[in-house]
Amino acid sequence: MTERLRRLLGALLLAAVTGPAVALTPLEIQGKELYFGATGRPLKAYLAGSSEPVDAAAVPCAGCHGEDGRGRSEGGIVPGDITWSSLTKPYGHSHGAYRKHPAFHERSLAAALARGIDPAGNALDPVMPRYVLGRNDLAALTAYLKRIEADPPAGVAAGRLRLGVVLPLAGPQEPAGRDLLALLSTYVEELNGRGGIYNRRLELVIAEAAADRRQTLANVRRLISVTPVLAVIAALVPAHEAAVAETLDRSDVPLIGAVADFPAAGARNGFYLAEGLPERLLALLDRISAGGSGSPPGEHRDEATRLPDRPRLAVVHPAGTDYRPLLEALDAAAADKGWPRPQRWQNVADSAESVADAVIFIGSETELAAWIAARPAVALPPYLFLPVGAAAGDALFDLPGAVADRLLIAVPFPPIDPAGGRSSELSGWQRRAGIGDRSRYAEMLGLGAIQVLTEGIKRAGADVSRRKLVAALEELRQFDAAPLPSLGFTPARHIGRSGTAWIAIERERRRFREIDGAGGTP
């Protein structure tokens, strides 16, 4: 660990243990849970004219009156400002020409909630539900309404914004995790040096992506409530990515997941820079069936070694049910093309006995190297395909020549040409962060992710909240996240860029070569 990184880590840990300036009291926290419909307890509400209760959590205060209590009109209804200072204005309120009432106090608030009447005894707007609250819940909700104006959105305070980072800090992915942390910390430090965003300093809170799923999720949950963050970057979550994404989405925490094998299609708060593994796998099959372009990865091949028209594929895949739908999609796509059903090789022994024209390897490049090393000394199939999300580390250059020459890698973004302009963008950051080139691809993605996130925060405005950040990201179009190509999102599509880049290995020069043009479209 470099001295610089040690210093940065010290600052980060400090940031993680200092809480908000004045914490909410337990009663206020209980009130806040009521306000947002997050108590987890069954509470009843009655809709206008209905004698049957509905679940109060389905129609929480925050839905209409907003996370700040100020109300905002929608669909022709105008929910009131229910911050305590507004409710208790001494001269009361007039709602249009028809309804006037004096200031609220605690008793009249209780009557409004339970019976739907204002302090003058007028009926409230019929869309305001009536809530059945016990004495304690009522006291808690009242306490929170008195506090709501001084309760900034999660992760936001007067002088700072807190962002979560999920990273592996042990195991095979540790080097990439450390490099990425140094890079993100440097990015944030430089941004803060220029005044931060709207005069708020950014702070990173680290949650370790551990090998153990339960531990990882426990770490991630701390970002939701214990040291709440505005949003989370998960640029590199080797395992449990789906569980991490789901946990955050359920709590409405925005997630910038750089690259995931399976981006959550229905996620409301999750954003991904690129498509997942299924799209890359299908693109690979299309490439193979397109004939000419399905041919040689390595540069030492000739037409004689082209794949047959009906190639016998084998897929080496990790154990576990996560990959089953993917394998079924692969079978269906092969059947569509009239190819034999791809063989499934789960372990090295399978591969010794079976014959295939091409192997699709699902896993990281280190797993590929391990599989090759453990394989019995039988001839390799002529083609090896590696459809990965975040890989292409230097380990690939150390593969045996026979493997490297057979290998075609499918990645969501083209690699950086060391001679090209986009390279200087990355190498500048690497130099300032004091990190090397060993995790180049992960660094590219991390840099893309933090730029997307900080741009979203800027566009969300000074009164940013988790919800406003999601809305701002959904409007991000053609955003230049150098060194990545431009990308963007829409409300219906939280995938920044489509398409696949194809790369082969040039072992002698220890570099990647992109095959036929730039990959991906925004």
Q: Give residue 201's identity as a one-letter amino acid code.
A: R
Query: Should residue 432 be labelled a site residue for another protein when binding is judged by CB under 8 A?
Result: no
380 vs 433: CA distance, rounded Å = 41
The candidate with the shortest Cα–Cα distance to 258, out of 496, 492, 512, 473, is: 496
Beta carbon nearer to another protein, 77 or 373: 77
Query: Should residue 117 be labelled a site residue for another protein when binding is judged by CB under 8 A?
Result: yes
Beta carbon nearer to another protein, 50 or 136: 50
Beta carbon nearer to another protein, 117 or 157: 117
The candidate with the shortest Cα–Cα distance to 454, out of 183, 92, 161, is: 161
Query: Should residue 120 be labelled a site residue for another protein when binding is judged by CB under 8 A?
Result: no
Query: Should residue 242 be labelled a site residue for another protein when binding is judged by CB under 8 A?
Result: no
Query: Should residue 349 be labelled a site residue for another protein when binding is judged by CB under 8 A?
Result: no
Question: CB 475 → another protein: shortest distance, Å?
Answer: 11
Write out the DSSP string of 302-334.
Answer: -GGGPPPSS--EEEE--SSGGGHHHHHHHHHHH
Question: CB 52 → another protein: shortest distance, Å?
Answer: 6
Instruction: Select from 40, 42, 76, 134 the one that contacts another protein (CB under 8 A).
Output: 76
Query: Should residue 18 be labelled a site residue for another protein when binding is judged by CB under 8 A?
Result: no
Query: Should residue 332 be labelled a site residue for another protein when binding is judged by CB under 8 A?
Result: no
Query: Should residue 492 be labelled a site residue for another protein when binding is judged by CB under 8 A?
Result: yes
Instruction: Select from 31, 79, 164, 228 the one that contacts another protein (CB under 8 A).
Output: 79
Instruction: Select from 2, 94, 136, 490 the one that contacts another protein (CB under 8 A).
Output: 490
39 vs 19: CA distance, rounded Å = 22
Instruction: Select from 14, 48, 226, 332 the one that contacts another protein (CB under 8 A).
Output: 48
The candidate with the shortest Cα–Cα distance to 388, out of 502, 273, 257, is: 502
The candidate with the shortest Cα–Cα distance to 87, out of 102, 107, 67, 72, is: 102
- Report strand pairing: 495-497 vs 270-274: parallel
| H or E element at residue 234 | strand 231-234
The candidate with the shortest Cα–Cα distance to 353, out of 339, 363, 340, 343, is: 343
Question: CB 95 → another protein: shortest distance, Å?
Answer: 15
Helix or strand or coil: residue 246? helix
Q: And the tokens for 159?
A: 């002088």
Query: Should residue 218 be labelled a site residue for another protein when binding is judged by CB under 8 A?
Result: no
Please report, as residue ranges, which positions from 457 to 486 form the binding site for another protein (by CB under 8 A).
Answer: 474
Instruction: Select from 77, 170, 335, 462 the one that contacts another protein (CB under 8 A).
Output: 77
Query: Should residue 69 be labelled a site residue for another protein when binding is judged by CB under 8 A?
Result: no
Q: Are 403 and 372 in contact (CB under 8 A)?
A: yes
Q: And the tokens for 82?
A: 């229910």
* The total number of residues written for the chain in this structure: 522
Instruction: Select from 21, 120, 123, 402 the one that contacts another protein (CB under 8 A).
Output: 123
Instruction: Select from 1, 58, 332, 374 the one that contacts another protein (CB under 8 A).
Output: 58
Q: Which residues contact 175 (CB under 8 A, 6 or more apart)?
A: 438, 439
Beta carbon nearer to another protein, 45 or 384: 45
Instruction: Select from 159, 266, 376, 517 the one that contacts another protein (CB under 8 A).
Output: 266
Interface stretch with another protein, choices 119-127, 187-195, 284-292, 348-356 (CB under 8 A): 119-127
What secondary structure letter does DSSP report for 74?
B
Query: Should residue 243 be labelled a site residue for another protein when binding is judged by CB under 8 A?
Result: no
Query: Should residue 75 be labelled a site residue for another protein when binding is judged by CB under 8 A?
Result: yes
Query: Should residue 491 be labelled a site residue for another protein when binding is judged by CB under 8 A?
Result: yes
Query: Should residue 64 be labelled a site residue for another protein when binding is judged by CB under 8 A?
Result: yes
Query: Should residue 278 be labelled a site residue for another protein when binding is judged by CB under 8 A?
Result: no
Q: And the tokens for 366?
A: 């280190």
Query: Should residue 338 be labelled a site residue for another protein when binding is judged by CB under 8 A?
Result: no
Rounded to 10°, the helix 106-115/135-147 angle is: 120
Q: Give residue 469's identity as a one-letter amino acid code.
A: L
Beta carbon nearer to another protein, 210 or 472: 472
C-alpha distances (whole Å) from 331 to each of 157, 252, 339, 360, 431 are 52, 36, 9, 13, 46
Query: How many CB atoms sit inside 10 A of residue 109's CB?
Result: 20
Interface stretch with another protein, choices 213-221, 235-243, 331-339, 490-498 (CB under 8 A): 490-498
Question: CB 253 → another protein: shortest distance, Å?
Answer: 16
Q: How many residues bind another protein (CB under 8 A)?
A: 33
Instruction: Select from 40, 42, 49, 292 the one that contacts another protein (CB under 8 A).
Output: 49
Instruction: Select from 24, 38, 47, 327 the one that contacts another protein (CB under 8 A).
Output: 47
Query: Should residue 96 be labelled a site residue for another protein when binding is judged by CB under 8 A?
Result: no
396 vs 505: CA distance, rounded Å = 8
Q: Are 459 and 472 in contact (CB under 8 A)?
A: yes
Question: CB 270 → another protein: shortest distance, Å?
Answer: 12
Question: CB 66 → another protein: shortest distance, Å?
Answer: 8
C-alpha distances (whole Å) from 107 to each of 84, 102, 267, 277 are 13, 13, 41, 58
Q: Are 489 and 474 in contact (CB under 8 A)?
A: yes
- Report strand pairing: 44-46 vs 130-132: antiparallel
Interface residues toward another protein, by CB under 8 A: 47-52, 54-55, 58-59, 62-64, 74-77, 79, 116-117, 121-123, 126-127, 129, 265-266, 268, 474, 490-492
